[in-house]
Chains A and B, each alone.
Chain A
Amino acid sequence: MTVEIEFDSYWQDDFLHRMENDGPWGSWELFKLAIEVEKHLVIPDFEGLQAPNHLPNLTPLPHQLETAKQVIENMNGKAILADEVGLGKTIEAGLILKEYMIRGLVKKVLILVPASLVTQWAIELNSKFFIPAVTQRKSYVWEQSDVVVSSIDTAKRNPHRDIIFNQDYDLIIIDEAHKLKNNKTKNYEFVQNLKKKFCLLLTATPIQNRIEEIFNLVSLLKPGHLGSETAFYEKYKRDARSLNDDEHLKELVNKVMIRNRRADTGIEWTKRQVETIPIEFSIPELELYEAITTLRNEGDWIQASSFSVMTLQREACSSREAVFYTLKNMLQKKENPTPAFEEQIQYLIKKVEAVQQNSKAEKALELIQKVNDKVIIFTEYRATQMYLQWFLKQHGISSVPFRGGFKRGKKDWMRELFQKHAQVLIATEAGGEGINLQFCNHIINFDLPWNPMRLEQRIGRIHRLGQEKDVMIYNFAIKNTVEEHILKLLYEKIHLFEKVIGELDDILTKLEFGNIEDHLLDIFGQSSSEGEMRIKMENLSSMIEFAQDMKKGDTHAAAGNS
């Protein structure tokens, strides 16, 4: 037995001192209480989790407890947590952190998260885990507080950087760690230089990304786990697509990564029911839409402006207020507008003024009254948001607005108002960091976002852990407009709405090209005719289908939680 034994000599010296000076002595009652406590706080086993005993208000799900246990017992406290969105990675990280703190293995903790999540992390750790996490606001916080939450962009800059490197962290948690996939970035270098005794990397996107990115992420966590850089690339091609190709590599990665999937959690997820509601324009609305559409064929004035016809078309499908707001902006921003330009705008404004009703809003009202329950309406436009709030109020329906730009406190306040007092929440931006609204199960997509990921985020606000009812999604689309085309071409064709987030993640990463959002913007923004748009869309959807088929082939071989 060669383990070094340390004996706390401070107590002994103090005791002898008191023997000499005849006290002071403590009370027997307190002495007994101290022992009673200590017997409760002693950790009897290396294995198992103590944290749940300390968290009576939190009921972790089986997969979350299992993950925490795995990380501590089999991964030695260094892991990539890569659960699908909505399965509670934060809870898992909190459990692990709490367990280490209870066991006295971790005291000083650094938590690096995107700036928009800093407050939320601190609140969750405090309220759910009773961990006194502090947000970094002043530079002395680094030294004085044991658990600090900060954005990586703040942390990597001086003076913070130097102070951080002087701290002795026991545990480092990094949220959204997939942003560290490139080892040439400053962020990567910063994290690499940190001393990582225990370390958790949280990532929402699956790691079956490019093999290079896997190497970088794993090497950050555990250098050498995948070998040295040269040895690794000798064995695997740098531009290889997926680690599914190599069983051995997959196994290695799974030693440091846990990825729970919705399907594996054993939780009964409620269903999503999607209904597309086609809506007819009224005559003046149709005239406005057509006036905009014909602009495309009328000379080059529109190309000179930064606003596209497509934008105006989409806005016309939402509300006249949205169109008007853009037109006003176009006039104001144009330097030395030609008379023809001004005339054109004025012509459109006249058309806007001619519109007296909003067919979609009326449909929404009808639907809200029929549902007679809480409803979330998503729109892309603030003008529409304001109009809808006014419109609903005219009909005696209370609503609260919600925007991504609201400060944390205001967001929470709006959420509470919605939960307790209002029937409708009208939101312009779901935002990854938005709020959770499980108590509501109806969503109206008043207009559709270009980017399907945004749509997922919208639905994800309510279709998550804690949702007890089936989720109803109503998609509004005006007949014979660009909106209907989008819906047909993209969403219906690939049954996007029925997909859950993780599966979509996988599909998107299988795509051989970059950002799907860029593609959609290109298709809908740059196409000069509907025909071109349709062809490009066909292309995109067949590629997505192809990726889906590929996935079906190897679902069971995919890198899952072992």
Chain B
Amino acid sequence: MQQQEIHNYLLKYFQANDCPIIENKPGYLTVQLTIELDKQLMNRPFYWHYLEKTGGIPNPMSLTFITNKDKAPENIKGEIIHFGSPRLHQIFDSSKKLASYIRLYENHRQFNHQTPLLPWLCLNVKISYQCDRKRDIFKSIGLQLINGKMVEDFHDRLMQVPLTPKIPDYSFTLSPLVRPKSGMTRIENYLKSVIEQDDHTWADDARKRWDQDLRLLEHFYEEVEEEENENYETEKKALQEQYEPKINISFINGGIFYLTEKAI
């Protein structure tokens, strides 16, 4: 992530959370936190607890982020933000937490007749292949809950569609024929089949490494007396945790989208 991207990201994040932007200049950004975001980001539960008990006037903090030291004025005080900074990752986590679930409607402009909106289930997931190493795959899957059509890169397609949280005038939603629960199962099965077709030499290699180390371990403890078997068991378990190949599918977010027929 480039520094400018980080700057834009922060700006969008605070705007989306209704925080007044006090200053937005090249290289830095000052925002007034809302009470809610102060609680999320500033880690001062005692202050908020105290305030709620005493009924005082809440005074959420303002924050300055320096996104480019060279461009920001020299005397400015603030947190220097870069891709590795814990503050940025805290904000990353917060944006995930705040928008895990969503429901939106296509903001179509067809006001001359009643427009049907079709329900789409969207799941954005991260597939992780994990042994003593790891790699991830990002997948965005959309499933139309009327005819069962499944679409990849769904999120990128959604980005082209105007969306609104309130159902627009002259619109009505169609009830899903596929229930969301079974929709999720369909997507799950689809992902599994995609994974199964993937190349998994990584897992075979990890098992080989595991097996190799395990044989060494067994050889080492062959002649050792009973009482030290505890160490053997510990080591054996450690090897399993180190090497055992696993695949995790975790959700980033997802939701239900009501779209016109031509949207996707």
Contacts and interface: CB of A to CB of B under 8 A. Distances in A.
A521 interface: no
B219 A228 contact: yes
A19 B255 CA distance: 9
A193 B234 contact: yes
A137 interface: no
Contact of B83 (A35, A43, A53, A77): A53
B111 interface: no
A30 B16 contact: yes
B98 A26 contact: yes
Interface string B36-78: 0000000000000000000000000000000000000000000
B234 A3 contact: no
B101 A14 contact: yes
A11 B83 CA distance: 27
A83 to B, nearest CB: 23
B165 A25 contact: yes
Nearest to B205: A46
B180 A224 contact: no
Interface in A292-346: none
A230 B192 CA distance: 48
Contacts of A42: 126, 136-138
A34 B99 contact: yes
A551 to B, nearest CB: 32
A197 B237 CA distance: 9
B86 A132 contact: yes
Nearest to A2: B203
A27 interface: yes
Given A46-B134, A223-B217, A228-B219, A29 B16 contact: yes
Interface in A31-80: 31-47, 53-57, 72-73, 76-77
B65 to A, nearest CB: 15
Interface string B139-181: 0100000000000000100010001010000000000000011
Contacts of B140: 35
Contact of A77 (B242, B248, B254): B242
A479 interface: no
A76 B231 contact: no
Interface residues of B, number: 82
Contact of B216 (A24, A32, A223): A223
Interface string B239-255: 00111011111111111
Number of chain A interface residues as a range: 35 or more
Interface string B197-232: 000101100000100010111111111100000110
A53 B109 CA distance: 44
Contact of B104 (A28, A39, A45, A196): A28
B127 to A, nearest CB: 9
Interface in B79-117: 82-86, 92, 95-96, 98-104
Interface centre among B136, B181, B230 (most CB of A within 10 A): B136
A76 B181 CA distance: 40
B231 A193 contact: yes
A255 B206 CA distance: 17
B12 interface: yes
Interface centre among B17, B130, B202, B242 (most CB of A within 10 A): B242
A227 to B, nearest CB: 7
A72 B217 CA distance: 20
A104 interface: yes
B4 interface: no
B15 to A, nearest CB: 7
Contacts of A33: 9, 12-13, 16, 95, 99
B132 A105 contact: yes
A44 B195 CA distance: 15
Interface in A1-24: 1, 3-8, 11-12, 14-16, 18-19, 23-24
Contacts of B23: none
A18 B241 CA distance: 36
A219 interface: yes
Contact of B135 (A14, A27, A44, A132): A44
A11 B100 contact: yes
A198 interface: yes
A210 interface: no
B82 A16 contact: no
B219 A227 contact: yes
- Among B12, B102, B237, B245, chain A packs the most CB atoms within 10 A around the CB of B102
Interface of B: 1, 9, 12-13, 15-17, 82-86, 92, 95-96, 98-104, 124, 126, 128-130, 132-138, 140, 155, 159, 163, 165, 180-181, 184, 188, 192, 195-196, 200, 202-203, 209, 213, 215-224, 230-231, 234-235, 237-238, 241-243, 245-256
27 contacts: A1-B195, A3-B247, A4-B246, A5-B247, A5-B248, A6-B246, A14-B100, A14-B101, A15-B101, A16-B181, A26-B253, A28-B102, A28-B104, A29-B15, A33-B9, A33-B16, A33-B95, A38-B96, A42-B137, A56-B83, A104-B134, A193-B231, A196-B238, A223-B235, A225-B216, A228-B219, A228-B220
The list of the 3 closest CB pairs from A to B, nearest first, reads A54-B84, A224-B216, A26-B99
Given A26-B102, A43-B136, 12 more contacts: A3-B246, A15-B101, A19-B180, A27-B99, A27-B165, A29-B16, A30-B13, A33-B9, A37-B96, A43-B135, A44-B136, A54-B83
